[in-house]
Amino acid sequence: MWASVAKRLLRSKVQFSVAYTSLIVQRNKCFPCSSLLYLSRWQHSAPVFEQTCSPEAMIRNVETLDAERFVCVHWEDGGHSLYPYVWLRDNCQCPQCFLHSAKARKLPIENLDVDTGLRNVDLTDANKVSITWPDDHKSEFEAKWLKKRCFSEESRAEMQEELFLQERFYWGSDLKIPTMSYEDVLRCDKAAFKWLSTLREVGIVLLEGAPIKQGELIRLGRRIGYMRHTFYGYTWQVQDKTDANNVAYTSGKLSLHTDYPALQYPPGVQFLHCLKQAESGGESEVVDGFHVCNQLRKEDQKAFDILTSKQIDFTDTGVDYCDFSLQSKQRIVELHPNGDLLRINFNNATRDSVLNLPVEEVQPFYDSLKKFVNLMNHPKNTYYYKMKPGQVVTFDNWRILHGRKSYESGANISRHLEGSYLDWDVVMSRLRALKNKLQNSS
Amino acid sequence: MWASVAKRLLRSKVQFSVAYTSLIVQRNKCFPCSSLLYLSRWQHSAPVFEQTCSPEAMIRNVETLDAERFVCVHWEDGGHSLYPYVWLRDNCQCPQCFLHSAKARKLPIENLDVDTGLRNVDLTDANKVSITWPDDHKSEFEAKWLKKRCFSEESRAEMQEELFLQERFYWGSDLKIPTMSYEDVLRCDKAAFKWLSTLREVGIVLLEGAPIKQGELIRLGRRIGYMRHTFYGYTWQVQDKTDANNVAYTSGKLSLHTDYPALQYPPGVQFLHCLKQAESGGESEVVDGFHVCNQLRKEDQKAFDILTSKQIDFTDTGVDYCDFSLQSKQRIVELHPNGDLLRINFNNATRDSVLNLPVEEVQPFYDSLKKFVNLMNHPKNTYYYKMKPGQVVTFDNWRILHGRKSYESGANISRHLEGSYLDWDVVMSRLRALKNKLQNSS
């Protein structure tokens, strides 16, 4: 019940952080994986293990609509689905048309008759749709396979959600930061799945109990797949450095930002592993940037439109893994083609002095950016925490803005975080693989 | 002269492949770097070494336009430039506002008064603009720095071209493939610069004389910076394999495609190093995809609009570096926000059977794709070559479609290419660094 209410609320883009944050503090340390902090939620909802189409998808009969060149499949449950001839021919699953070892299409567009007719369609005893094409080529499609690919709006939306897990739980300063055991996510698939799905939905998960040694993040990256190499290396050391090549490598305050918009495709996920913490200062700050964007859209549509349309230059020049001279063009807020929020690109340190806007658009851009920054710094949106050695914060770098308070630094290193990046493609790949593995073993 | 004509032609999006291909066959093996095949072109044009603004940018006087809150800089050459107060304050270069070791802004938006006034502006004896702000903070800007950042349309266009090198030389079947020495690009900065700038402009460069051993591409990647890791590893072996996890790992024909649209951000540049070539078959095929897109736009605007707007699902599932389960959504032709061509995403093997379009849009999508594929396969557009062991083809994977003819395979490996990827960000970074190095040494 709770989950379905939550889903409806999310779909209508309404925040329900109170319900969420009151839920996420429920812990159940007795569960086989000690880190399953979300037990009550998963018990109620468990939506990720549902099949988009039930395995029992049974076909009543099939017919052709020759004028439209559609095959119409009538299901036993009373519904029906339409499949264009050309799509069926394109997706023939026979070994001549499809390489099963690679799960990839062999039939090239060159050999596809996009105006194909259809000689015959039958329903087989094994609940399959069997088609004979005008050139005598035969195709067979399983009912379940077809049902998952139904072209109705509802079915497509379900499939897209299954593939991309776009649902988000927005939060403000009342966040109770999701916390799990580092060792559990390394060892237990169920814990790893919950870690990554929470990272997707909430945008941030704190892992506790990691060994306090440099290089440990490599293990965590391997748990998922591989890390994203950048000009700062595979992992990088956030410390106060002489002649810092990055503002993060000082002891100064870092305003809320996303990492690396100077890369045209900024890293999707960031890990920060605390190895040493300053006695005074150095508190971390995070904000749900998507939640802030929705507030901005509501309060000042014009500012939102400017930040989602004008391309702003970013730059990063220096030497680290090797010498680098990066330039990128980013909208401060990047939208999906459907208007959904895709990514925040905002690091004031690397925002270039080169600004490719007509001079009359400069002031409106600054006005919009100021409004966005004021909103992200509003006490209702900011969440502070101070990392302890052995903690690893993992967060969505496309959504979460992060910063830190300044700290006291002396002759010795007083604070040391090790960081690394991953692409969302790699994290989502592991999430799908874990989901399949858990589904198959349940 | 030739270069300026070419630039004008390019800006008006007119092809001049005949002029280009007739030029690129001129070789000059006597030049210090034996691989500088483009000598005559560079001698005439050398545009990349020009300063966008001359070092002699001299200011005649400065004034304020208080109503608009602009500083107006009058140049000795008679022109003038407008700079908004807020942009000047934001880009103050003093050590309090700017971290020079990182070339990054320290002043956060929180501390920027976007409605700032200006107490005083002066021209210093050293040809700098000196500003005193209402709170007594002082900023100084060098004339050259300001001129490069002039907000006029022309100046901004020049700066963007300097930063991103967007000019392209389109070609068809009459391509004379640009060819350079592998060892030269490794050893000589001038050769490396010509390699990468040609890769940017023409989209393909063939390197000759590479050692015939696996792993050699790592040296070439290091010459630039670092390679792009993917689920197929850092480098990957294109051979006929049992239970191939990719259609490329067979001996079959590969239709024209770009690599890896199943990654949401496909690799920008691809290297293929020939280690062994089949006696019969295995010829490579390339097409200038951007040139084909421009033809499609001209011949069938509706098809072009569909391919540049509809998001198509791609998928790649299997095991290689580790297990993977990728899903992405791509427009077959992705445009820049300004309408320019950005990237082609087309690999028919990994185009998903999941197709998130309303059923009535399915046929128009296939019709459009078929037109695009027919056009790319037109003899006027296709260029064939057969790689020899020791050759490395380097090409723009966002622009060039590549394929191969089938080849005979037996009990032993009859053909072996090793491949790897890089991101354009990394290649462009090296290109800018080489340009600066060559400029400073000239």
- Cβ-defined contact of B229 to A229 (cutoff 8 Å): yes
Using the predicted structure, report yes or no on whether residue B56 has a pLDDT greater than 80: no
Using the predicted structure, report yes or no on whether residue A52 has a pLDDT greater than 80: no
The stretch A377-387 carries a mean pLDDT of 98
Residue type, A348: N
CA A304/CA A311 separation, integer angstroms? 13
Consecutive H or E run containing B319: strand B311-319
What is the share, in percent, of chain A residues with pLDDT greater than 70? 87
Q: B302 and B321 in contact (C-beta within 8 Å)?
A: no
- Cβ-defined contact of A246 to B104 (cutoff 8 Å): yes
- Cβ-defined contact of B349 to A104 (cutoff 8 Å): yes
Query: Tell me, what's the pLDDT at B169?
Result: 97
CA angle centred on A320, ends A314 and A322, rounded to 5°: 95
B379 and B405 housed in the same domain:
yes
A323 and A355 housed in the same domain:
yes
Q: B256 and B376 in contact (C-beta within 8 Å)?
A: yes
CA A340/CA B217 separation, integer angstroms? 40
Give the minimum alpha-carbon distance from B216 to chain A in angstroms, rounded to a whole number. 20
Using the predicted structure, report yes or no on whether residue A25 has a pLDDT greater than 80: no
Q: B93 and A236 in contact (C-beta within 8 Å)?
A: no
Using the predicted structure, report yes or no on whether residue B311 has a pLDDT greater than 70: yes
B313 and B378 housed in the same domain:
yes
The answer to the question of residue A40 being in a domain is no
The answer to the question of residue B353 being in a domain is yes
The stretch A384-389 carries a mean pLDDT of 98
Phi, psi of B159, deg, nearest 5: -65, -40
Q: How many CB atoms lie within 10 A of CB A189?
A: 15
Q: For chain B, what is the radius of gyration of the CA atoms?
A: 25
- Cβ-defined contact of A425 to B350 (cutoff 8 Å): no
Give the minimum alpha-carbon distance from A26 to chain B in angstroms, rounded to a whole number. 32
Q: B262 and B325 in contact (C-beta within 8 Å)?
A: no
- What is the average pLDDT score of chain A? 88
Nearest by CB: A349 against B104, B163, B247: B104
Q: Fill in the DSSP letter of residue A281.
A: B
The answer to the question of residue A36 being in a domain is no
Phi, psi of A322, deg, nearest 5: -155, -175
A287 and A432 housed in the same domain:
yes
Using the predicted structure, report yes or no on whether residue A396 has a pLDDT greater than 90: yes
List CB contacts (< 8 A) between B103 and chain A: 315-318
Q: How many CB atoms lie within 10 A of CB B94?
A: 13
Q: How many domains does chain A have?
A: 2
Band of pLDDT at residue A56, cut at 50, 70 and 90: low
Domain end residue (candidates: A95, A130, A164): A164
List CB contacts (< 8 A) between B91 and chain A: 353
Strand residue runs (E) in B112-228 = 120-123, 128-132, 138-142, 179-181, 204-208
The stretch B54-80 carries a mean pLDDT of 91
B136 and B269 housed in the same domain:
no
Phi, psi of A7, deg, nearest 5: -60, -45
CA A230/CA B423 separation, integer angstroms? 10
- Cβ-defined contact of A423 to B265 (cutoff 8 Å): yes
- Cβ-defined contact of A104 to B316 (cutoff 8 Å): yes
Instruction: Using DSSP, state whether A31 is helix, strand or coil.
Output: coil
Token digits for A417?
Answer: 């975080």
Residue type, B315: T
Partners of B400 in the beta sheet? B288
B345 and B249 housed in the same domain:
yes
The stretch B303-313 carries a mean pLDDT of 98
List CB contacts (< 8 A) between B87 and chain A: 355, 362, 366
The 10s digit of each residue's pLDDT in B115-161 is 999 999 999 999 999 999 999 999 999 999 999 999 999 999 999 99
Residue type, A248: A
Instruction: Using DSSP, state whether A245 is helix, strand or coil.
Output: coil
Residue type, B18: V
The stretch A368-388 carries a mean pLDDT of 98
Q: What is the CATH number of the domain that holds B131?
A: 3.30.2020.30
The answer to the question of residue A26 being in a domain is no
Taking the C-alpha atoms of A358, A360, A366 and A371 in order, what is their torsion angle to the nearest 10 degrees? -120
pTM: predicted TM-score of the whole model, two decimal places:
0.89
List CB contacts (< 8 A) between A108 and chain B: 255, 348, 373
Burial (CB count within 10 angstroms: exposed 0-12, middle 13-18, buried 19+), residue B123: middle
The answer to the question of residue B17 being in a domain is no
Q: What is the CATH number of the domain that holds B288?
A: 3.60.130.10
The answer to the question of residue A51 being in a domain is no
The string of DSSP codes covering B223-284 is HHS-PPPBTTBSEEEES--TT-SSGGGSSS-EEEE-S-TTSSS--SEEEEEEEE--SSB--E
B79 and B179 housed in the same domain:
no
List CB contacts (< 8 A) between B311 and chain A: 337
Consecutive H or E run containing B288: strand B284-288
What chain B residue is nearest to A234 in terms of C-alpha separation? Answer: B226
Q: B383 and B287 in contact (C-beta within 8 Å)?
A: yes
End-to-end CA gap in chain A: 23
Question: Domain residues for A95?
Answer: 59-164
Q: How many interchain CB pairs under 8 A, A with B?
A: 236
Instruction: Using DSSP, state whether B331 is helix, strand or coil.
Output: strand
The 10s digit of each residue's pLDDT in A197-225 is 999 999 999 999 999 999 999 999 999 99
The stretch B400-404 carries a mean pLDDT of 97
Domain end residue (candidates: B128, B143, B164): B164
List CB contacts (< 8 A) between B192 and chain A: none
Give the minimum alpha-carbon distance from A255 to chain B in angstroms, rounded to a whole number. 7
The answer to the question of residue A236 being in a domain is yes
Consecutive H or E run containing A148: helix A143-148
- What is the average pLDDT score of chain B? 88
The 10s digit of each residue's pLDDT in A242-258 is 888 888 888 889 999 99
A272 and A126 housed in the same domain:
no
- Cβ-defined contact of A355 to B87 (cutoff 8 Å): yes
- Cβ-defined contact of A318 to B362 (cutoff 8 Å): no
CA B145/CA B153 separation, integer angstroms? 17
Q: A50 and A59 in contact (C-beta within 8 Å)?
A: no
The answer to the question of residue A112 being in a domain is yes
A104 and A206 housed in the same domain:
no
CA A333/CA B245 separation, integer angstroms? 37
CB neighbour burial string for A200-238, b if at least 16 within 10 angstroms, e if fewer: bbbbbbbbeebeeeeebbeebbeebbbbbbbbbebbbbb
Using the predicted structure, report yes or no on whether residue A118 has a pLDDT greater than 70: yes
- Cβ-defined contact of A243 to B313 (cutoff 8 Å): no
Partners of A139 in the beta sheet? A131
Closest CA to A104 of B239, B293, B248: B248
A141 and A261 housed in the same domain:
no
Using the predicted structure, report yes or no on whether residue B41 has a pLDDT greater than 80: no
List CB contacts (< 8 A) between A325 and chain B: 429, 432-433, 436
Domain end residue (candidates: A115, A140, A164): A164
CA A430/CA A438 separation, integer angstroms? 12
A211 and A145 housed in the same domain:
no
Lowest mean pLDDT among B137-141, B188-192, B408-412, B431-435: B408-412
Q: How many CB atoms lie within 10 A of CB A296?
A: 21
The residue whose two tokens read 């995403």 is B345
β-strand pairing of B284-288 with A284-288: unpaired
- Cβ-defined contact of B325 to A263 (cutoff 8 Å): no
What's the Cα-to-Cα distance from B8 to each of A213, B15, B199, rounded to whole Å? 58, 11, 20
The stretch A371-390 carries a mean pLDDT of 98
List CB contacts (< 8 A) between B84 and chain A: 359, 362-363, 366
Closest CA to B146 of B157, B136, B133, B155: B155
B77 and B226 housed in the same domain:
no
Using the predicted structure, report yes or no on whether residue A112 has a pLDDT greater than 50: yes
